[in-house]
Amino acid sequence: MNSKVNGPNRSISIIVCCYNSELRIEQTIRCLSQLILPNSTDVELIVVDNASTDNTSIIVQELWESFDSPFPMRLLFEEKPGLSNARKKGTESAKGDFLLFCDDDNLLRAEYLEIGLEILNKNESVAILGGIGTELIESDKPEWFDRVRVMYAVGDQHKDYPDLTHSKQYVYGAGAFMRKRILTEIFESNIKQVFTDRTGNKLISGGDNELGYLIVASGYQIQWSRELTFKHFIPNERLNYDYLKRMRLGYAYSLPLINMYRAALEGKEYTFKINSWFSDIVISLKRFIRISIRLRRSKKRNLTLLLEYWFYLGRIKALISSFEFYRNANRQIKKNISILRS
């Protein structure tokens, strides 16, 4: 792939994907209305309602009008649940040369578009450009938050800066710019994504990883900038151990898929045999039992042990129930990489 386009790209489509966002969307829409628009640049806002059951679409329309509609806004509806599905819907409809994915709880700095456009127009090979989020917590920050802040998509993307093409190979999607022509090439190349990412209240992770791996397989670069700052609003209902558990279980489900992609990118074979799969279950079960015993003996709630406990709980469930799914996904992942590298 890796085609070239001469001259600067001068249009941006901001895509906000929503699921039951009526209570948290106002600050996001307000910040978007206050963005500084780069000179000679067309900007549009696309809000994708991902099968919401509340009044998200109505609220968004009313808010945008109340902020004097500084640039065009369109509302789309994606009935198929899943963040990746909603982002694909927005991408297919977007008119901009660049896409900016802004989550419904992201508050972008006013100069976000100017900074991103300048970086991207300097290097045509950069397909994804990530930013850096800082937490905006609704009330008091839990004492444990800083130890798990990466799980909330805040803080540095990685120790490598600014290029992640050969290390992390993805950025978190919140606040990320993407070059539309490259995403279009990927989506039209007969690949099939294996991640759905967030689906309703299910916190399955990995959609950002998959997109990054597909970009790398296509021969493009992934970067991030510390100048692209935004605040990530985190409500109280996401600051508890139950939410952490759900995120950890989702990560455990996604990790085999992540490992399959990494193996395929490195030209390695991810072994899929019943005996090795059964061996993984036994090893995970032994570790789960050891961690359970340590937790029972611990006099205080130990977050490190809890994170391991939830991970192995999710891993065991996934390994036992989803062998056929993972085997088919592994085949599809190898096919995806082969298509994009051909």
pLDDT digits (tens, 9 = 90+) for 183-235: 999 989 999 999 866 655 555 678 899 999 999 999 999 999 999 999 999 99
The rounded distance, in Å, linking the Cα atoms of 280 and 274 is 10
Beta bridge mates, 233: 136
**Structure tokens of 160?**
């490598």
Beta bridge mates, 73: 45
The structural domains of the chain, with segments of one domain joined by +, span: 11-239, 247-341
Query: What integer pLDDT is reported at residue 76 of this predicted model?
Result: 98
Query: What integer pLDDT is reported at residue 2 of this predicted model?
Result: 43
Q: Which of 145, 135, 141 is nearest to 303 (CA)?
A: 145
Q: How far is CA 119 from CA 129, 131, 162, 227, 270, in A?
A: 8, 12, 11, 10, 37
What pTM was estimated for this model as a whole? Answer: 0.91
CB 202 within 8 A of CB 250: yes
Place of tokens 């989702």: 250
Which superfamily is assigned to 11-239 in CATH? Spore Coat Polysaccharide Biosynthesis Protein SpsA; Chain A (3.90.550.10)
The rounded distance, in Å, linking the Cα atoms of 321 and 242 is 22
Question: How would you classify residue 169: left for phi > 0, otherwise alpha for psi between -120 and 50, otherwise beta?
Answer: left
Place of tokens 């805040």: 154
The rounded distance, in Å, linking the Cα atoms of 118 and 177 is 12
pLDDT along the chain (342 residues), means of 10: 50 97 96 96 98 97 98 97 88 96 97 97 96 96 95 92 95 95 91 75 76 97 98 96 95 94 93 83 97 93 96 95 92 97 92
Query: What integer pLDDT is reported at residue 6 of this predicted model?
Result: 43
